[in-house]
Amino acid sequence: MLDRLMAPDSFFSKNFFFLAKRFVAGESIDSAIEAVRGLNAAGMTATLDFLGEDVLERDAAIKTRDAYLRMLDKIAQAGARSNVSVKLTAMGLLIDEDFALENLSTIIAYAAEKNPADPFVRIDMEGSAVTDATLRVFERAFAVHKNVGPVLQAYLKRTPADVARANELRARVRICKGAYNEPPEIAIKDMPAIRAQYMQCAQALLSGGTYPGIATHDPGPIELVKSFARANGIGPERFEFQMLYGVRPALQHRLVCEGYNLRVYVPFGTHWAGYFYRRVAERRENLLFALSSVFSR
C-alpha cells in the first residue's frame, strides 16, 4: 500500500510534489543544479542525490547509473561545487552484489575524470538488511578507488566497530544517527544513548579518521563536536558538517559564518515520496514546515 503510494506514477507523487518542495530540490537535474548554485553562493558545498532505491531490474539500475553520469557532466558544465551520493540498492544491490559494484565503480571512475575538484562519491547507508552488503561493496570499490566512502549510522550497535574499521582503512565516513526503523536487537532505541554513541563515533572519526562528515541538525552534538575539535587541535579544515536541504537553514549559515565547512545533501528526482516520508517520520514538525512553506509562497 505504502509502496504503491510512493511510486513515481502514483496519484500522490504526480500531484503532491509541492509538499516535498522544501526538502527536495526539484524533479529535474537542472533544478537541483540551480539549488547547488545558490548553496555555493552562500559558501556551502553540496552532495547531489538522485532519489530512488530498491531497484529490482537491471535496466532500471543501469538507467540510474547513467543518470549519475549525466549529473557529473552537469556539475562539471556548471562549475558547481558538489559531489554525489549514491544508494547501492538503486545500483542493483538487491539483484546482484557484483552488478552493483560494477555500476558504482563506473560512477566513481567517471567522477574522478569529470569532477577532479571534488571527485568523491558517497555511499548512503540504507536499512539493516543491506548494511553488510553495502560495506562489502564499499571495501571492494575502495580497494581500487580512494574517492569513495560510506555512511555509518550511530543508532546501530555495531557502528563503533565499523568506525574503527573505516579508520584503519583511512576511509572518509559520514556519520549520522540513522533514519530507518530498526529492531532493538541491533539498534539503540533511546535518543540520549544514540546521541552518546553518535559522539563516541564522531570523536573517533575526528581523532583518527579522514575528513569525516558530521551529519546532524542537532545543536547539542554540533556544539560538542566544535569543542572537541578545538580542545584537540583539530582545525575546521579537517572535517565538515553536513545537513539536509531545507533543514535548519539558519544554522547552516551560522556554521559557515563561524568558518566551518558545511555540505548540504541535495536530493532531487521523481522518486521523492520515500525520502519525504522518512523526513516526516523522524520529525512530525517537518510536515508542518512543508505545509507552511506551501502557504507562505
Ligand X SMILES: Cc1cc2nc3c(=O)[nH]c(=O)nc-3n(C[C@H](O)[C@H](O)[C@H](O)COP(=O)(O)OP(=O)(O)OC[C@H]3O[C@@H](n4cnc5c(N)ncnc54)[C@H](O)[C@@H]3O)c2cc1C
**Site for ligand X, rule CB under 6 A:** 124-125, 151, 153, 176-180, 215-219, 242-244, 247-248, 265, 282-283, 286
| DSSP bridge pairs for 263 | 45, 242
What is the DSSP track for 221-283?
HHHHHHHHHHHTT--GGG-EEEEETTS-HHHHHHHHHTT--EEEEEEESS--HHHHHHHHHH-
Strand (E) positions, 119-197? 121-123, 148-153, 174-176
Tally helices (H) and strands (E) across the chain.
13, 8
Measured from the CB of residue 56, what is the shortest distance to ligand X in angstroms? Answer: 21
* Minimum separation from the CB atom of position 135 to ligand X (A): 13
Nearer to ligand X, 141 or 215 (CB): 215
Separation between Cα atoms, residue 87 and residue 202, nearest integer Å: 22
Does 132 participate in catalysis according to the annotation? Answer: no
CB of 9 to ligand X, least distance (A): 26
- Choosing from 172, 174, 195, 263, which is the catalytic residue? 174
Question: What is the closest distance, in whole angstroms, from the C-beta atom of residue 218 to ligand X in the complex?
Answer: 4
Q: Closer to ligand X at the Cβ: 153 or 270? A: 153
Pick 58 or 189: Cβ nearer ligand X: 189
174 is catalytic: yes
Cα distance between residue 267 and residue 277, in whole Å: 13
Kindly tell me which of 223 and 258 has the beta carbon lying closer to ligand X. Answer: 223
Catalytic option among 122, 124, 162, 263: 124
Write the CB contacts of 132 (distance below 8 Å, at least 6 apart in sequence).
none
Active-site residue set: 124, 174
